[in-house]
Structure 1
Amino acid sequence: MGKPRAKVKRGFGEVGQLPSGRYRARYTGPHGSRHSAPITFVARIDAEGWLVDQERMISRGEWEPPARQVREVQEAPLLLGEYAATVVGRRRIRPGTAALYAKLLRLTILPAFAKRPLVEITAAEISTWYAGIRSTPTQQANAYGLLKSIFKEAVEERLVEVSPCRVKAGTQKERAREIEVLTVDQLNRYLAAVPEARRVPLLLAGWCGLRSGEVRGLRVRDLDREIGVVHVRQAVVRLKGQLLIGPPQDGRGGQVVVHPSPPTAGVAGVGVAPRGA
């Protein structure tokens, strides 16, 4: 998350830009107390205009603390769709993660909350929404995790007082189905059935426990046949028809996978050991 820009000093009050890009106005009142505008502003000029109004009320002897002012501030509410786009857009994330966030927003979050003011979304609404996407457990957990992180930043920027994301264990992924691990015999029969050109990548994936993108990212220099290890240094992902090279998932970059001598029985696959193990 980016840092707020430096505050702009004025003759009366100050205007500072928040990481969200919106502006916050503050000033010292007649009795020495600090006061902030009850909302943040899209444009700096709006924040400065609010300060001008406050200064004018003080000079006329009509001033009251902002919390007591009944005057309505003409400012459109910040919608979740607008704020979510701002939050995701300023994060330093990999292209694959950006694509995942865009998908989660498009399919699960924005249809329910895009046009809702950020401050009006309730915990009950979040719980109902969360329960409504339980048919896809992984997507449910990922979408909730993204929404929760968006509201966390909103709390930090004082756009909302508390986060409405209070679903217990909401980010824990429920396994949609049990993973079936191939036995040695099943893997060998599978390799025998595929075209010969595809056997080496599948053999590495099966015996070394590599992900598809990690296998695609392997180069000749990553295979050390003398000591029998495979260096996991990069991965290849397909995104919108393009092949992108980046670090492996889950911080596996730089790790070494020991390539075993094929056993005669048991389950195909090995563990991952730290470099130099």
Structure 2
Amino acid sequence: MTGPDGKPKRVRTSRYGHGSRYRARYVGPDGTEKSQAFPDRQKRQAEEWLAGIAADMSRGQYTDPRAARVTFRQFAEKWLAERSGDPNTRASMSAQLRLHAFPHLGPRPLGSFQPGHIREWVKQLEEKGVRGSYARTIYSNVRAVLSAAVDDGHLPRNPCSARSVRAPSVETKRVVPWSAERVLAVRDALPERFRAMVDLGGGCGLRQGEIFAVDVDALDFDSYVLHVVQQLKYSEYRLVLAPPKGGKLRDVPLPGPVADAIRGHMECFPPVEITLPWGNANGPLVTRRLIFTQTTGEVVRRPSFNNVHWKTALVRAGVIPKRKRGEPHQAAREHGMHALRHFYASVLLDAGENIKALSEYLGHHDPGFTLRTYTHLMPSSQDRTRNAVAAVFASGPKL
């Protein structure tokens, strides 16, 4: 602006006093220059900020301010996309984060995370009824994402590592195996085309997905061996055939009565050729002659089988009460088909089978896990001592 004397004159605008006069600059660990603007009269704050940055870099706790603004969801989705390994595991982790972590933690910038945010989220999970091992798995996934964020310099430390943060608790319950009478009652209550499933579960210790995927080639009736080489599972909401859990292929003894039941089943319900992807939803197509199928000739789907056939059989056998009109069956997690594996383990331990062999038959990677799960079902040393001594005295001369 020109003044009355014809000379230039500086005039304060409406923005006067609102701009940033100082810009603190530094070179980050990645070699690029970074800066932060500070308003007028805040030179000391700019100097203190630079000193703090230098101290963080010297301690190895530096976090790029721009990286810290990335949200949990943005980083988690990128991290999942970059993960290698089993695509089914990646899809499962993605679904768990999307359903249970992103709604609460997703929009939060990584640099703002504090232990209190994790405590609040864990409490929210509990209030929504997400508990036990499933909640622990979701928590582990969130912790893994935040650990990767620390490694990549998005935040200085993992809030899940704070002493005040507790992972969701998992209640340890002792396995209570079914009686033989209950196993047979549930078997008789199932439709005839599914009864031999109980023979394989209770007589060979197979998991549900492994039972659904048994094919003709897996049955060696000459050597009485069952080759457990695949399971039926979901990958990205699509049914696929895949190796057993943990990739643990195994051979299981096929007891005579179980073999007879399978032969009888195959005579009444001939195996059906089924073609499905192998390994994951995008895997190569494979064809197997499965011995268990639905009346339509399609594979047995876990949700419909459990809700329609299995729980109905539990009601008929008196395991769970009859459902009320318009309501679903009572939750019966402890009475799912996994109960047949527990029955199988209890029978073998009662017969004196060792833990290592049982672990192999069940497809466990660690015999220690088998021991921790079933140790209370093993005959005690006191029982063995009493029985051994009693046998000696019973066979000796009478006093």
Interval of TM-score (by shorter of Structure 1 and Structure 2)? 0.5 to 0.7
Inter-CA distance 114–199: structure 2 relative to 1 (3 Å threshold): same
Aligned match of 1:155: 150
Q: Which of 152, 174, 186 is matched with 1:190 structurally? A: 186
Tell me, yes or no, if structure 1 residue 103 matches structure 2 residue 95: yes
Q: TM-score, normalised by structure 1?
A: 0.65
Tell me, in whole angstroms, the C-alpha distance in 1 between the residues paired with 2:96 and 2:256. Answer: 42
Letter in 2 for 1:190: V
Tell me, yes or no, if structure 1 residue 212 matches structure 2 residue 208: yes
**Aligned to 2:251, what secondary structure does the other structure show?**
strand
Tell me, in whole angstroms, the C-alpha distance in 2 between the residues paired with 1:125 and 1:75. Answer: 19
Does the CA contact (< 8 Å) of 1:79 and 1:118 recur in 2? yes
Tell me, in whole angstroms, the C-alpha distance in 1 between the residues paired with 2:167 and 2:80. Answer: 20
Q: Which of 140, 143, 148 is matched with 1:145 structurally? A: 140
Tell me, in whole angstroms, the C-alpha distance in 1 between the residues paired with 2:230 and 2:197. Answer: 15
Shift of 1:198: 1.0
Inter-CA distance 74–101: structure 2 relative to 1 (3 Å threshold): closer
**Unpaired runs of 5+ in structure 2?**
1-25, 36-49, 55-63, 259-341, 346-357, 364-399
Q: Which of 63, 77, 86 is matched with 1:85 structurally? A: 77
Shift of 1:92: 2.5
Inter-CA distance 198–65: structure 2 relative to 1 (3 Å threshold): same
Q: TM-score, normalised by structure 2?
A: 0.46
Tell me, yes or no, if structure 1 residue 269 matches structure 2 residue 264: no
Does the CA contact (< 8 Å) of 2:227 and 2:250 recur in 1? yes
Percent identical pairs in the alignment equals 22
Does the CA contact (< 8 Å) of 1:223 and 1:230 recur in 2? yes
Shift of 1:256: 2.1
Inter-CA distance 197–173: structure 2 relative to 1 (3 Å threshold): same
Report the more deviating stretch, 238-247 or 213-222. Answer: 238-247
Relative contact order (C-alpha < 8 Å, sep 6+): which is higher?
A: 2
Q: Which of 156, 160, 163 is matched with 1:165 structurally? A: 160
Does the CA contact (< 8 Å) of 1:256 and 1:272 recur in 2? no
Letter in 2 for 1:255: R
Tell me, in whole angstroms, the C-alpha distance in 1 between the residues paired with 2:103 and 2:87. Answer: 23
**Unpaired runs of 5+ in structure 1?**
1-28, 38-46, 54-63
Shift of 1:201: 2.4
Shift of 1:240: 5.7
Aligned match of 1:249: 245
Q: Which runs of 4+ in 1 moved over 6 A?
A: 72-76
Shift of 1:129: 1.4
